[in-house]
Chains A and B, each alone.
Chain A
Amino acid sequence: MKLTLTINGKLRSIEIAPNVMLLDVLRAAGYKGVKKGCGEGSCGACAVLIDGRPRNSCLTFAAQCEGSEVLTVEGLGTPENPHPLQDAFVRHGATQCGYCNPGSLIAAKSLLDHTPAPTWEDVKEALDGNLCRCTGYVKRIEAVLDAASLGKK
């Protein structure tokens, strides 16, 4: 079947099998920033925004995204022109092995879209679905709060 959706602002039409997950479709289409961690909704490495909502792409049928707008970490910023959140993650060393970063950044972006001035608890809650196996939990909270305090999204 044909799937038409917008990925990072670009309209795409992709031939898919009805039973595939969005995660696999995105990676096959070249969006390798979307990571497969657990594949069962526990780790959040695969998080993307679907119509503004942060979701596990491993538990989302690609077919559910017909007509949707999907944002992956590739749509957030580039190495030359990083998103303020990416900048803050670098400044605070909120990245160790880096595997959880794409998902954590997407969850953080969703938080700041709706809550521009979050509290520590707000950030903790917003990132509760993004496991960091290097246990860099404090630095990423500081990074998100710093990005928010700069008044940027």
Chain B
Amino acid sequence: MLKNLTHVHRPSTIEEACALLAAQDRKNVALAGGTFLAESADLTIQGLVDLSRLELGYIRDTGTGYAIGAMTPVQDVFKSPVLQGPSGKLLKAATGRIGSTLLRHAITVGGNLVCVFPWSDLPPALLALDAEVQIRKGIPKRTVPVQTLLERNPRDFLDRAELVTEIIVPAFGPGTGTSFTKFAKTANDYGLATVAVRLTLRQGLIREARLAISGATKRPVRRPAAEAWLEGLAPTPALFAEAGVRAAQDLDLTQDFRASKEYRSEILPVLVRRGLEEALRQVTA
């Protein structure tokens, strides 16, 4: 419970919301779906800035990809008729594995990214798709790769008065396949290792590979060394098995009651291999 909460603000513009977040006399924080803050016991939080009236719930086809408003519930991404192709498939696969229907209606795309947990399902998908976020600070805005946002705690990366307002996801043409492989103890438990993959092939060779994992490390991460190693090579079962081993190397794996470090290091190469095999099957003509 937020014991020291005294105010709830309901701004109707982004400028107004950012001004409230910048306030020096009181600590205000952004409220998206609320599932993270409802469980918080942060005694420093005095005010909530409810973002639900900023009209940030939308999914648009931009011609080169998709623009998703930060306040869009992940259920809407899961069921979106707008999202298509390899990017749409991966976004739907990832959001469909978040919690339950009840939670998916509350959790927002922006909240899920900014309040990232080690096991969050959407961030690895966004990493695999080279997605970017638009960040507003009143009128000024900047666009930052999701990868940069996730290099540390996004709430530390963002300036106090900044808001993530939109997620920008590129679309990929022919020759691209994606996959999402989550390993959890039950259908809606947190993943204890999750792998998002994108493969783009040209003339039978891997032109671009993306491997992103969550659930096994402190924060979702890409595996750039394994990606680079795959590029330029022909996809074979042996190659994918080796990529799995490489993707699991040099990782600071987490250990908790769900699984030990050793367990995670055993299953991760398998999940990466399966993810690559599935992405290859999904490659579009």
Contact = CB atoms under 8 A, between A and B. Distances in A.
Given A19-B1, A59-B35, A59-B38, A129 B52 contact: no
Interface string A105-137: 001000000000000000001111110000000
A64 B126 CA distance: 28
Contact of B99 (A41, A58, A127): A41
A63 B8 CA distance: 7
8 contacts: A18-B5, A55-B105, A59-B34, A61-B34, A61-B38, A61-B48, A63-B48, A129-B188
B192 interface: no
Interface in B103-147: 103, 105-106
A1 B100 contact: no
B238 to A, nearest CB: 36
Given A1-B8, A61-B48, 6 more contacts: A47-B102, A53-B106, A60-B34, A60-B106, A126-B101, A128-B187
Contacts of B3: 19
Nearest to B79: A114
B38 A60 contact: yes
B250 interface: no
A136 B5 CA distance: 40
B191 interface: no
Contacts of B75: 53
Contacts of B48: 18, 61, 63
